[in-house]
Copies of this chain bind each other. A is one copy, B any other.
Amino acid sequence: MKDVALGIDIGGTNTKFGFVDKEGNMYGETSISTVKTPPGDVDAFLKYLYKEIEVLREQIQEDLNIVGVGIGAPNGNYFTGTIEYAPNLSFQGIVDLVKLFKRYYDVPMVLTNDANAAAIGEMIYGGARNMKNFIMVTLGTGLGSGFVANGELIYGNDGFAGEMGHILQDPEGRVCGLGRKGCLEAYVSATGIKRTTFRLLADMNAESPLRDISYNQLTAAMITEQALKGDPIACAAFEETSRLLGQKLSDMVAIFSPEAIFLLGGLAKAGDLLFKPTKAYMEQYMFQVFRDKVVILPSALEDRNAAVLGSSALAWKEIGIKVD
């Protein structure tokens, strides 16, 4: 019998899950379509999820003992175990997720948002294992973040802390979700660099294969591909994105003075294209006392399933705290 934590990452399109032991070894991992269940019907979704989890458990040779469940989900609240008004999920209003899912697994169960789960994953299994102060930034469709200070993740008073994607880049700037203007994630994310690319296609005259691609077809991976070939529009888009990210990271350093900043997610896969100019701009904008002290690193979870690992780490951390 092997003790494992069940890690679940609920996303707008897919929900991924897997079993992870205390050392971070994954025992099977799969995903189901989140949207396959009737929209808004949490009960149906959880029933389907449970069934698929048990199917996966059956397939694994070893006998698995689920000692805890960690769930990462947009707008997941650590304190209440609820998902609250998540704009990209079909569940409406406030959903009592932990309470509902405990009917299936009556073990310690914790919920937080996906970026916080990734930060915990980095702390337990990844590159932040010996760090007390670090920042995790996830650059996917949006910009998520998790802040660890004094060895503890910051959940804040209401459980929703760590929303770096919603600090203001420009109060009169791009419209983002929910009608708010100028959120950082409208500039720095896979979506953000796409928007920047389209503005640059309008502003610049340079020829570019990107001029043959529609907004809906364009992906951050395509921009990366072109930037690697030296395409001037794509290079300018990475330059601008890195400048804005570097500048805001210098602000975060002034507040947190972390040991490291980890980048994870689709846009982080661009590697040096993003990391090098971001680091250079961060140092350029940095308050002198913090200069050359903070490293920007790719998440050590990047090549594995960071979201599932992070969620399972959340469960292990919770059990650890309860056992100690």
Q: Which residues of A contact B (CB under 8 A)?
A: 75, 84-85, 131-133, 145, 147, 149-150, 152, 154-164, 166-168, 171, 178, 180, 183, 247, 250-252, 254-259, 285, 287-290, 293-294
Contact = CB atoms under 8 A, between A and B. Distances in A.
Contacts of A167: 251, 254-255
A256 to B, nearest CB: 5
Contact of A157 (B132, B162, B166, B287): B132
A163 B251 CA distance: 9
A290 B160 contact: yes
A157 B259 contact: yes
Most interface-central of A171, A180, A287 (chain B CB within 10 A): A287
* Identical copies of this chain, number: 2
B171 A247 contact: yes
Nearest to A133: B157
Contacts of A84: 289
Given A75-B289, A252-B255, 17 more contacts: A132-B157, A147-B255, A149-B149, A149-B156, A149-B161, A150-B150, A157-B293, A159-B257, A162-B257, A166-B287, A167-B255, A168-B247, A168-B285, A171-B247, A180-B287, A183-B287, A255-B255
A129 to B, nearest CB: 15
Q: Which 9 A-B pairs have the closest CB atoms?
A: A156-B257, A161-B257, A166-B287, A167-B251, A157-B259, A163-B254, A149-B154, A133-B157, A150-B152
Given A133-B156, A150-B154, A247-B168, A255 B288 contact: no
21 contacts: A132-B157, A133-B156, A149-B149, A149-B154, A149-B156, A150-B150, A150-B154, A156-B256, A156-B257, A158-B257, A161-B256, A162-B255, A162-B257, A166-B287, A167-B254, A167-B255, A168-B247, A168-B250, A171-B285, A178-B288, A180-B288
